[in-house]
Structure 1
Amino acid sequence: MTKKNEVPVVNIANALTVLRLVLVPVLMWVALRLGIPHWCAWGVFALAAVTDKLDGHLARSRGLITNFGKLADSIADKALIIASLILLSMQGWLWWWVTIVFIVRELGITAMRMMVVKKKVMAAGHAGKIKMAAQSFGIAGLLIPWGSFLPGSVALVMVWASYVLIAVALFYALTSAWEYIREARSL
């Protein structure tokens, strides 16, 4: 039985978050399966990215924020990004060192945030939000098979634009990590 003002855990925002978690192994399977075009992998990634925006919007606008949602959303975001980066590195589209830096940053900052959560919940800052946006668009751009529908030189520009977004994300990953570390030290 729930209290009058308590938000039920089973709600549309949390359902979308769980869907995003389910889409991570689907993305891995689609991307690694021979004969399945990259468009399918891009489609799964894009759907998962849209659910990230939608679940947050619904949770805030409809008062559906739950502790489960806060935790699961963060896990789903990290799982999607880490899985995608690993896929891109496995397929030779992204240097492994870039993937490793992103993974170490994500896991390190998550561990640090969990250590200080009793004193303060460290919300994502401006740099972290820029990182996530650049990372998502960069990954999506590297998943798209540009050469299948654009002339070679234009396809190359699109691929390089995706790499620029990954570089921007890497810069903001390090910048936001430093911001989190400074905030944690002050606590």
Structure 2
Amino acid sequence: MTGATESTPVPMVTRVPVVNAANGLTALRLVLVPVFAVAVVVSDMTHAGWQIAACVIFAVASATDLVDGWIARRFGLVTAVGKVADPIADKALTGAAMLLLSWYDRLPWWVTVVILARELGITALRFWVIRRGVIAASRGGKAKTALQILAITWYLWPMPAESAAVGPWIMAAAVVVTLATGFDYVAQALRLRRARR
């Protein structure tokens, strides 16, 4: 009688390559950040053509965030590098946009400071609890991202005054949801640490 090991399938550990489509889109988003920033600076937020170009670049870069996450989950391309690089790319894009909008007096500085402080704080919080578990993005977090992207896009696009007046209301909604989800993530992190002790 031969050993049972001959008929027992040996599970194969599949290593996900770091260089894949999902991480490639994340890298593209990072590359587009300085391109977007240059377009905004050249536009001086007064040249409609360059403003439109900056807005389109921002929209394309934002879209890669949705696509890379879907590809990573759908095709099993989730990597440690992607988990770290993806939020960094997100914060770099929205952070650059908000800083530039504030610099050109389109967005109050306090809004930029509040949102960026929350974003950086939650990113640090995720790393603080990463060994104990992952704080998954909630529906509120996704709504927050969507509102921020919509508000920034609204500010970037050259609009008549009547339409432009809607932008602050969208941003106000983004601020409220951003702060609310921030408190929720803090509560999740504290529960996660207590549960793992």
**1:106 maps to which residue?**
119
- Amino acid of the residue matched to residue 176 of structure 2? F
**1:44 maps to which residue?**
57
Contact 2:87 2:123 in 1 (8 A): no
Deviations 1:136-183 (A, max 9, x none): 01100110011xxxxxxxx33422222222111100111011101111
Which residues in structure 2 correspond to 1:1-187 (within 5 Å)? 4-34=13-43, 37-146=50-159, 155-186=160-191, 187=193
Deviating 4+ runs (over 6 angstroms): none
- Amino acid of the residue matched to residue 189 of structure 2? A
Distance 1:108 1:119 in 2: 18
Q: 2:122 is paired with a residue of what secondary structure?
A: helix
Aligned residues: 177
Identity of aligned residues (%): 42
Deviations 1:52-78 (A, max 9, x none): 111111111122111111111111011
Distance 2:36 2:119 in 1: 20
The farther-off stretch of 157-166 and 14-23 is 157-166
Cα distance, 1:123 vs structure 2? 1.2
Distance 1:79 1:66 in 2: 20
The TM-score, its normalising length taken from structure 1, stands at 0.89
Q: 1:37 is paired with a residue of what secondary structure?
A: helix
The farther-off stretch of 111-120 and 95-104 is 111-120
Listed as ranges, the gaps of 5+ residues in structure 2 are 1-11
Distance 1:85 1:109 in 2: 18
Distance 1:11 1:80 in 2: 21
Contact 2:97 2:152 in 1 (8 A): yes
- Amino acid of the residue matched to residue 69 of structure 2? G
- Amino acid of the residue matched to residue 172 of structure 2? A
Deviations 1:39-64 (A, max 9, x none): 11101101101111111111111221
Distance 2:97 2:105 in 1: 12
Distance 2:18 2:113 in 1: 34
Question: Alpha carbon RMSD of aligned pairs, Å?
Answer: 1.4
The TM-score, its normalising length taken from structure 2, stands at 0.85
